[in-house]
């Protein structure tokens, strides 16, 4: 890190927009979003449509974690708290306020962002192990509140059914409609995060990951950017939670359990942290692995341990990093006019 050169983003000045992206880059992001859409549409004939829908919801959750860990370099063991907040806020909103699915989703996302904003005032001041474990502690508190303290409202471990009702064509009991709606949410999320990470804001949070003291020396309020990133990540996680509620129509404390954080961490590492494509690839790969292994091997989790060792020692940039390296290697071989070795 000591030799890393961090420069002030050239496009960021007093008169520029923090989230401004050149038109050419926006066009490229649109094309990349189209490729993501095509990839998930291709999965439909291969897998059952309901499985692809669940995969996409999980991928949105992985995107939230990747923004926090992959781009800003803050490992969180408590991302399930914000997904669970979205789950329960949207469920209780549908039961006691309004069963409209759109309003329910907005309430869940807003609830997750507010919780992240309040806790972020404390958490983002920390770093490394303190950051990770404090998130875990708050997640454990949230799990206790949902499962025990407020069980008269949440029904505790018995779970609670959502009160969402169809609204026009938006009926989540209809599989194709649910699939299209979740796909649109995934594509919008991917597009927004892609634009953000390509903007001056994205340069700043990546610089914070490399050397926060240098970013602070350049005159930026690193607390503000860390807090903003934390809130965005919490809101995206809550979006995944609300979509889960709308689709499954039943929730329980499992959706906020601290141990479930392992899944999103594994998915991000498998795909490649700091790469939105890696988050998507890791999410799909992990869910596929989980479904198939759980069907044939009772205690399948030990395989994840072996996979983690492989990633740590040989695939530190994940599947997308390995694919990028392989493509670059083959291009060099072709450019030199030499046949690629197997």
Does the structural domain 23-299 have CATH classification 1.10.3470?
Answer: yes
Considering the chain, what percentage of its residues have pLDDT values greater than 90?
64
Q: For residue 183, give both structure tokens.
A: 């796909």
Tens-digit pLDDT profile for residues 53-102: 999 999 999 999 999 999 999 999 999 999 999 999 999 999 999 999 99
What gap in Å lies between CA 191 and CA 184, rounded to an integer? 10
Tens-digit pLDDT profile for residues 251-298: 999 999 999 999 999 999 999 988 899 999 999 999 998 888 877 777
pLDDT value at 3 more than 80: no
Q: Looking at the whole model, is its pTM more than 0.95?
A: no
What gap in Å lies between CA 214 and CA 4, rounded to an integer? 10
Domain ranges of the chain: 23-299
Instruction: Please tell me the predicted confidence (pLDDT) of residue 328.
Output: 81
């Amino acid at each position: 890190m000591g030799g890393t050169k961090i420069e002030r983003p050239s496009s960021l000045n007093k008169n520029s927009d923090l989230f401004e992206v050149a038109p050419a880059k926006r066009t490229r992001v649109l094309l990349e979003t189209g490729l993501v859409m095509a990839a998930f549409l291709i999965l439909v004939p291969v897998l059952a449509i309901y499985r692809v829908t669940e995969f996409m919801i999980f991928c949105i959750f992985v995107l939230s974690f990747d923004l926090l860990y992959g781009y800003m370099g803050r490992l969180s063991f408590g991302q399930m708290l914000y997904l669970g907040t979205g789950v329960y806020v949207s469920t209780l909103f549908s039961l006691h306020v309004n069963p409209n699915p759109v309003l329910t989703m907005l309430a869940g996302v807003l609830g997750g962002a507010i919780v992240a904003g309040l806790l972020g005032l404390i958490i983002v001041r920390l770093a490394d192990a303190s950051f990770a474990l404090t998130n875990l502690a708050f997640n454990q508190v949230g799990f206790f509140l949902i499962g025990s303290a407020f069980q008269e409202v949440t029904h505790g471990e018995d779970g609670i059914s959502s009160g969402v009702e169809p609204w026009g064509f938006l009926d989540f009991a209809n599989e194709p409609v649910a699939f299209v709606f979740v796909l649109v949410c995934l594509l919008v999320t991917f597009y927004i995060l892609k634009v953000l990470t390509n903007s001056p804001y994205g340069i700043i949070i990546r610089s914070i990951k490399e050397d926060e003291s240098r970013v602070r020396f350049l005159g930026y309020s690193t607390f503000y950017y860390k807090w903003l990133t934390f809130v965005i990540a919490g809101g995206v996680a809550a979006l995944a939670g609300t979509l889960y509620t709308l689709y499954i129509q039943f929730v329980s404390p499992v959706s906020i359990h601290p141990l479930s954080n392992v899944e999103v961490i594994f998915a991000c590492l498998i795909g490649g942290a700091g790469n939105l494509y890696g988050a998507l690839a890791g999410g799909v790969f992990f869910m596929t692995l989980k479904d198939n292994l759980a069907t044939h091997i009772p205690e399948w989790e030990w395989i994840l341990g072996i996979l983690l060792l492989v990633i740590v020692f040989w695939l530190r940039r994940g599947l997308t990093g390995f694919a990028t390296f392989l493509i670059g290697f083959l291009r060099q071989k072709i450019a030199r006019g030499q046949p690629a070795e197997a």
